[in-house]
Amino acid sequence: MKRFTLLIMSVSLLFAFSCGKSGDKLKPGDTIKIGFLGPMTGDAGNYGKLMSQAVKIAVEEQNAAGGIEGHKIQLIVEDTEGKVEKANPAIEKLAGVDKVFGIVGSVFSSCSLAVAPKAEASKIVMISPSSTHKDLPGKGKYIFRDVMSDALQSTVFGKYLAQVEKVKKVAILYVKNDYSQGLALDFKTEFEKNGGTVVAVETALQGDKDFKTQLTKIKGTNPEALYVPNYVAEIAQILEQAKQLGIKVKIYSADGFSNPQIFELAGDLANGVIYTNAAERKASKGKVEFMKKYSSKWKENPDAFSLNAYDGAKLILAAIKKSVKKESDGSLSIDRAAIQKAVAVTKDYDGVSGNITFTAEGDLVANIGIYTVENKKYKQIKTFKLDGEKLVEIK
């Protein structure tokens, strides 16, 4: 009997996801719910904290303006801890219980790849502010991101190290998750294609604290540089242990390095690290106002992903506003398909993170910035774009 009951429940859940309706009715007084999906606790909790704080500001602004057709916006934050096994029940709750109309997230690529099919089946627009895995936009028409892809930044960085910095020998140390592994392997392919040599590829597991075995092997290969496309918890340990082992090489990373928690974890060892992220542009009035509001409210500055999270929330809320119809009885009709269409046609949106245009697949059109750290502060030093296979610097 238990097995039969479980089978019925599983079939019902599958049916609920696969038959997500396009139109929803809200009674007068009902809130319009959106979700945030990301790590709020654990080693990666700072990523989710900074991003969710940005989304809260977007929701507060919308409610201060009267909500949408008199209905208040309610934000529901679900903690994934950065783990797929936590992300799956979180999306099931947001979709099946809370019935959200949009999700900002998930934060990590592995979690986004896992939850994307469920968001797609439930007709929930999902905009990730930080999931850069190249396969994510292909998970469905309801899946978007306003962050550059791994494929783009690893291709640009592979060319940059070989062609601009003239580095010949690189070692790689990455953590076995979708984000780090995708960046590492794509970078390796591009760097070697441009004449560079990868002298060592070492791996670790998420949550590892001791990297001395891998770093000792790397030291024996005598590289000019070390590429560590990981999150800051692991990068900080790697920087400290590399110093202890006497490894004196250039350190390179990716956009996961842009979380300012690295300055708390690594201190002065963060200085001089070079990494990729979406290229900055001259701060708009909107960005200046948002930065001021964020720091005043939360007593800390947002990271780059927080800017993306705010923009993602604003795009979702604007799309919902375009997709509602107030009925004569005071109820509200919201068309999920119309929300998707409104987000999909985003072009030249003047966001706090920069100009946002989505490709037909839901990916971000972006230029790549090359950044470094000086005196525990991030600094963009160059900007590039790809013109076919050619690396072009934007002055």
Calculate mean pLDDT across residues 42-51.
Answer: 96
The answer, yes or no, to whether residue 160 has pLDDT greater than 50, is yes
User: Residues 52, 72: one domain?
Assistant: yes
Provide, for the chain, the percentages of residues in helix, strand and coil under a 3-state DSSP scheme, each rounded to the nearest 5: 45, 25, 30
Is the CB of residue 37 less than 8 Å from the CB of residue 47? no
353-372 pLDDT per residue, tens:
988 999 999 999 989 999 99
302-340 pLDDT per residue, tens:
999 999 999 999 999 999 999 999 988 889 999 999 999
Calculate mean pLDDT across residues 72-84.
Answer: 97
- In this prediction, residue 330 carries a pLDDT of 81
Side chain identity at 15, as an amino acid letter?
Answer: F
User: Residues 381, 240: one domain?
Assistant: yes
pLDDT band at 283; cut points 50, 70, 90: low
Is the CB of residue 228 less than 8 Å from the CB of residue 266? no
Give per-residue burial for 174-186: e unless 16+ CB within 10 Å, then b: bbebbbbbbbbbb
User: Residues 57, 120: one domain?
Assistant: yes
pLDDT band at 6; cut points 50, 70, 90: very low
Distances (CA, A) of 110 to 83, 107, 118, 214, 324: 8, 9, 14, 24, 33
> How far apart (Å, rounded) are the C-alpha atoms in residues 362 and 140?
9
The answer, yes or no, to whether residue 95 has pLDDT greater than 50, is yes
The answer, yes or no, to whether residue 22 has pLDDT greater than 70, is no
Instruction: Indicate the pTM of the whole model.
Output: 0.83
Strand 274-278 with 250-253, pairing: parallel
User: Residues 262, 287: one domain?
Assistant: no
Domain of 45: which CATH number? 3.40.50.2300
User: Residues 373, 348: one domain?
Assistant: no
User: Residues 236, 100: one domain?
Assistant: no
User: Residues 264, 125: one domain?
Assistant: no
171-218 pLDDT per residue, tens:
999 999 999 999 999 999 999 999 999 999 999 998 899 999 999 999
User: Residues 123, 37: one domain?
Assistant: yes
**Positive or negative torsion for Cα 209, 213, 216, 217:** negative
User: Residues 115, 13: one domain?
Assistant: yes
Write out the residue range of the structural domain in which residue 159 sits.
151-280+369-393
User: Residues 373, 247: one domain?
Assistant: yes
**Which residues contact residue 50 at a Cβ distance below 8 angstroms, ignoring those fewer than 6 apart?**
259, 300, 302, 303, 305, 306
> How far apart (Å, rounded) are the C-alpha atoms in residues 17 and 99?
11
Beta strands in 298-348 (DSSP E): 324-326, 332-335
Q: How many CB atoms lie within 10 A of CB 284?
A: 14
3 state SS of 128: strand
Distances (CA, A) of 204 to 115, 173, 175, 262, 339: 24, 8, 5, 19, 40
pLDDT band at 280; cut points 50, 70, 90: confident
User: Residues 103, 210: one domain?
Assistant: no
Side chain identity at 295, as an amino acid letter?
Answer: S
Domain count across the chain: 2
The answer, yes or no, to whether residue 122 has pLDDT greater than 90, is yes
User: Residues 158, 264: one domain?
Assistant: yes
224-271 pLDDT per residue, tens:
999 999 999 999 999 999 999 999 999 999 999 999 999 999 999 999
> How far apart (Å, rounded) are the C-alpha atoms in residues 33 and 73?
6
